[in-house]
Structure 1
Amino acid sequence: MNEMTFHLSAFDGPLDLLLHLIARNKVSIYDIPIASILEQYLEVLHTAEAMDLDVAGDFIAMAAQLVYIKSKMLLPKPEAEEEEDPRAELVEQLLEYQRMKEMTPYFRDHLDVGRDVIAKPPEPRGERGPVEYHHQPSDLVRAARALLERAQRRTPPSAAAFRGIVGRESVPVGVKIAAILKRFLGQTRLRFTSLFEGAKSRSEVVATFLAVLELSKERRIVLEGDGEQTELTLVEDDRA
């Protein structure tokens, strides 16, 4: 059995062939005479010199679609029902293909735009002599001083900058608990703010506050009042 090949050099595909037949018969694309176009379509396929199965598949599929449309148009239509024209989908395909085909020359003409364009390099500037600077020694001193100031701003601050913030020994909370209880020896109530009088560091303030919380948690003192009016009352059972 001889191998069959298929080649239609004049047409890019089945839609292209259909558009050619429609134009040759001078019929409207919206009212295609399917029977006549199908007959001519099959004649073109039969007269092709060779058959390439990969290419022929699309043409044969279109032939099958035309046969299907023809068969639907031959079937009797119920009078009560309005059916869509079987050719509608084919018409949409042809119109879309026609629009794409019309745009092909435009893209072909612009495909190589700029391909042969070479950007002109910048023109060299005129010949210049050696660069001369006219600065005084004081200008160099000012520039060096500014450079040193910028470098100092980028370096970490010295330890002296943290004096009074960090570096002090922390005050133990137990020491402050003992000090608060000692103040209750001669009285049963203390103002909350009085506990912080004479504090020498942040660490001592924090330790005092934690000592008050610890004594309250252990129910050795009772906090009463609000804000600066808060007072501490020693629980009677624990009073020494």
Structure 2
Amino acid sequence: MDGPLKFERRGAVIEIVLDRPKANAIDAPTSRAMGEAFRDFRDDDRLKVAILTGAGEKFFCAGWDLNAAAAGESAMSDYGVGGWGGSIELPNLNKPVICAINGICVGGGLEAALGADIILAADHAYFALPEINIGVVPDLAVVCLPRRIPRHVALEFMFTGRKMDPYEAQRWGLVNEVLPLADLMPRAREIAALLAGGPPLVFEAIKDIMRRTENMPQQVALEFSRNLASTHKCCHSQDQMEGARAFVEKRKPVWKGI
């Protein structure tokens, strides 16, 4: 397929590969394509998990395509239904998303990765937000990064534009696992297969509750979460009954998402 994205479907898992040589940089049309890909994933009941990665071994994503910027593309362009990178602003994306960082992940590449629920990184990868050097505000990172790592670390990282290796990223909680490149996609697929066999209504409720209650005091959040439609849907589902029956019968549950 021609275009900035490549797709591989493995059962209930969709792999979305950013493929824009040489650095997998994102321009506005690419971001819109990513948004459409994640929207289609969200709306396809046959798909349970998405993996986002980059083509090649050097770059996951170098961020905003500065060639497009130099040609006049505005930082305030239409980046599509999911916002920059396709997923971070997509409403109701309540399915698991895994990001497999196969190389350099900087600027808008890191911001795109922040839309994932689980981030794996190759051991040769590194992260940076060098926008300070070109006078651009990394607005998504400003909002989202302190929700993943300590605030003071996020501020220093953004203020200096320095590089962060994957082991430091793992230490702060940005990355779940660091692996040799050869093991990166097999591990992402292993996790994806595990999640694809899990209870979709529970995953939906977990993401919905977390997103909606993130800035609430604890007691308010607890009370609010109990009244969410996703919570009620899960608690009154056939799947919940199936889970209990499977436990009693000492077998694996068969989840139907109803």
Tell me the TM-score normalized by structure 2.
Answer: 0.18
Q: Which has the higher helix share?
A: 1
Q: Which has the higher strand share?
A: 2
